[in-house]
Amino acid sequence: MQRTEGGGGGRAAVWVLLVLVAGLLIGLLLSALPASSVGPRPGHGWGFRFETHEDVDVILSTVGIALLVALLAVYVRTYSQTGARFALGLTVVLFALLLQSLLTSPLVYGALGTTAAALGPFLMFADVFKVAALTVFLYLSLQ
Protein backbone atom coordinates (compact mmCIF):
# COMPACT_ATOMS: atom_id res chain seq x y z
CA MET A 1 0.00 0.00 0.00
CA GLN A 2 2.81 2.42 0.76
CA ARG A 3 4.38 1.74 -2.63
CA THR A 4 1.14 2.73 -4.38
CA GLU A 5 0.89 5.95 -2.38
CA GLY A 6 4.54 6.79 -3.08
CA GLY A 7 4.10 6.17 -6.82
CA GLY A 8 0.90 8.21 -6.85
CA GLY A 9 2.68 11.05 -5.06
CA GLY A 10 5.42 11.10 -7.69
CA ARG A 11 2.92 11.21 -10.52
CA ALA A 12 0.90 13.84 -8.70
CA ALA A 13 4.01 15.99 -8.26
CA VAL A 14 4.81 15.69 -11.97
CA TRP A 15 1.28 16.70 -12.98
CA VAL A 16 1.28 19.64 -10.57
CA LEU A 17 4.65 20.76 -11.94
CA LEU A 18 3.35 20.50 -15.51
CA VAL A 19 0.30 22.61 -14.68
CA LEU A 20 2.45 25.21 -12.90
CA VAL A 21 4.89 25.42 -15.82
CA ALA A 22 2.05 25.65 -18.36
CA GLY A 23 0.39 28.43 -16.36
CA LEU A 24 3.71 30.24 -15.98
CA LEU A 25 4.49 30.04 -19.70
CA ILE A 26 1.02 31.20 -20.71
CA GLY A 27 1.22 34.00 -18.13
CA LEU A 28 4.59 35.11 -19.46
CA LEU A 29 3.21 35.10 -22.99
CA LEU A 30 0.16 37.12 -21.97
CA SER A 31 2.28 39.59 -19.99
CA ALA A 32 4.42 40.15 -23.09
CA LEU A 33 1.47 41.11 -25.31
CA PRO A 34 1.64 44.54 -26.90
CA ALA A 35 0.02 47.13 -24.70
CA SER A 36 -2.58 48.08 -27.30
CA SER A 37 -4.12 44.58 -27.33
CA VAL A 38 -4.75 44.45 -23.58
CA GLY A 39 -5.62 48.03 -22.82
CA PRO A 40 -3.53 50.79 -21.30
CA ARG A 41 -0.38 49.26 -19.83
CA PRO A 42 3.14 50.60 -19.59
CA GLY A 43 5.58 49.92 -22.40
CA HIS A 44 5.13 49.52 -26.12
CA GLY A 45 5.22 46.49 -28.38
CA TRP A 46 6.24 42.98 -27.41
CA GLY A 47 8.43 42.39 -24.43
CA PHE A 48 8.39 41.42 -20.80
CA ARG A 49 7.51 44.34 -18.58
CA PHE A 50 7.60 44.02 -14.83
CA GLU A 51 7.06 47.70 -14.16
CA THR A 52 3.80 47.47 -12.21
CA HIS A 53 2.04 45.05 -9.91
CA GLU A 54 -0.38 44.26 -12.72
CA ASP A 55 2.49 42.98 -14.88
CA VAL A 56 3.43 40.41 -12.25
CA ASP A 57 -0.19 39.70 -11.35
CA VAL A 58 -0.94 38.72 -14.96
CA ILE A 59 1.45 35.79 -14.50
CA LEU A 60 0.19 34.89 -11.03
CA SER A 61 -3.47 35.02 -12.01
CA THR A 62 -2.80 32.91 -15.12
CA VAL A 63 -1.06 30.26 -13.00
CA GLY A 64 -4.07 30.30 -10.66
CA ILE A 65 -6.44 29.89 -13.60
CA ALA A 66 -4.39 26.95 -14.91
CA LEU A 67 -4.57 25.29 -11.48
CA LEU A 68 -8.33 25.84 -11.30
CA VAL A 69 -8.83 24.35 -14.77
CA ALA A 70 -6.78 21.30 -13.75
CA LEU A 71 -8.74 20.90 -10.51
CA LEU A 72 -12.01 21.28 -12.39
CA ALA A 73 -10.93 18.53 -14.80
CA VAL A 74 -10.01 16.23 -11.89
CA TYR A 75 -13.36 16.64 -10.15
CA VAL A 76 -15.46 16.49 -13.33
CA ARG A 77 -13.73 13.20 -14.09
CA THR A 78 -14.25 11.99 -10.52
CA TYR A 79 -17.94 12.87 -10.66
CA SER A 80 -18.42 11.18 -14.03
CA GLN A 81 -16.74 8.01 -12.74
CA THR A 82 -18.36 7.84 -9.29
CA GLY A 83 -21.47 10.02 -9.34
CA ALA A 84 -20.47 11.27 -5.87
CA ARG A 85 -22.35 14.39 -4.84
CA PHE A 86 -19.28 15.69 -3.04
CA ALA A 87 -17.37 15.73 -6.34
CA LEU A 88 -20.30 17.53 -7.97
CA GLY A 89 -20.27 20.12 -5.17
CA LEU A 90 -16.54 20.67 -5.60
CA THR A 91 -17.06 21.02 -9.34
CA VAL A 92 -19.61 23.78 -8.81
CA VAL A 93 -17.37 25.61 -6.32
CA LEU A 94 -14.30 25.28 -8.56
CA PHE A 95 -16.28 26.57 -11.55
CA ALA A 96 -17.38 29.61 -9.52
CA LEU A 97 -13.78 30.24 -8.42
CA LEU A 98 -12.64 29.94 -12.04
CA LEU A 99 -15.20 32.54 -13.17
CA GLN A 100 -14.13 34.82 -10.31
CA SER A 101 -10.47 34.45 -11.30
CA LEU A 102 -11.24 35.18 -14.94
CA LEU A 103 -13.33 38.25 -14.13
CA THR A 104 -10.74 39.70 -11.72
CA SER A 105 -7.74 39.05 -13.95
CA PRO A 106 -5.53 42.09 -14.61
CA LEU A 107 -6.03 41.39 -18.32
CA VAL A 108 -9.75 42.07 -17.91
CA TYR A 109 -8.98 45.33 -16.10
CA GLY A 110 -6.69 46.35 -18.95
CA ALA A 111 -9.20 45.35 -21.61
CA LEU A 112 -11.82 47.51 -19.89
CA GLY A 113 -9.43 50.45 -19.76
CA THR A 114 -8.94 50.50 -16.01
CA THR A 115 -6.42 49.27 -13.46
CA ALA A 116 -6.56 47.91 -9.93
CA ALA A 117 -4.78 51.13 -8.87
CA ALA A 118 -4.02 51.12 -5.14
CA LEU A 119 -5.35 47.59 -4.74
CA GLY A 120 -2.69 46.19 -7.10
CA PRO A 121 -0.22 44.96 -4.46
CA PHE A 122 -2.98 43.45 -2.34
CA LEU A 123 -4.48 41.61 -5.30
CA MET A 124 -1.04 40.31 -6.24
CA PHE A 125 -0.40 38.99 -2.73
CA ALA A 126 -3.88 37.44 -2.68
CA ASP A 127 -2.99 35.63 -5.92
CA VAL A 128 0.25 34.36 -4.35
CA PHE A 129 -1.70 32.76 -1.50
CA LYS A 130 -4.33 31.45 -3.91
CA VAL A 131 -1.71 29.81 -6.13
CA ALA A 132 -0.06 28.21 -3.09
CA ALA A 133 -3.36 26.85 -1.79
CA LEU A 134 -4.51 25.60 -5.19
CA THR A 135 -1.13 23.90 -5.74
CA VAL A 136 -1.52 21.95 -2.50
CA PHE A 137 -5.16 21.18 -3.34
CA LEU A 138 -4.26 19.84 -6.79
CA TYR A 139 -1.40 17.75 -5.40
CA LEU A 140 -3.66 16.18 -2.76
CA SER A 141 -6.46 15.67 -5.27
CA LEU A 142 -4.18 13.75 -7.62
CA GLN A 143 -2.89 11.35 -4.97
pLDDT tens digits, 29-47: 888 876 544 444 444 445 5
CA distances from 128 to 16, 58, 80, 103, 133 (A): 16, 12, 31, 17, 9
Inter-residue contact 115 to 48 (CB < 8 Å): no
pLDDT tens digits, 95-140: 999 999 999 888 887 777 776 676 777 888 899 999 999 999 999 9
pTM over 0.85, yes/no: no
**Domain range summary for the chain, segments of one domain joined by +:** 2-142
Inter-residue contact 16 to 74 (CB < 8 Å): no
pLDDT at 50: 67
